[in-house]
Amino acid sequence: MAGAWTTLIATFLLILEPAMSESVRFEDKVVIVTGAGGGLGRAHALLFAKHGARVVVNDLGGSAHGEGASASAADRVVVEIREAGGTAVANHDSVTERLSEI
């Protein structure tokens, strides 16, 4: 069921995107997107990049249940953004482990 919701929300974002294109810009802004290696996070990262943001693609690369780890998910999204002319870097840190540093 989670996959269906992800698809539905991603489709909703694509419908809203044309309306955003003229009024919402993110030039000279840095956006950090957690969970950006796939699903909604990926869709958000690509959309922010399309609107001029410099994107930090944060993803541990694990499964939806937190198992395993691979840097490839975040790295693939960074490649997508760069190939489309955007600016992005990958980050593989756990945002929950860094919470105490804030």
What is the rounded distance in angstroms from the CA atom of residue 98 to the CA atom of residue 102? 7
Is 23 strand, coil or helix?
A: helix
What is the reported pTM? 0.72
Q: Which residue has the higher pLDDT, 14 or 43?
A: 43
CATH hierarchy code of domain 2-101: 3.40.50.720
Chain segment 41-52, per-residue pLDDT in tens: 999 999 899 889
What is the rounded distance in angstroms from the CA atom of residue 61 to the CA atom of residue 39? 12
Q: How confident is the model at residue 60 (pLDDT cuts 50, 70, 90)?
A: confident
Instruction: Specify which of 16-20, 24-28, 53-57 reaches the highest per-range mean pLDDT.
Output: 53-57
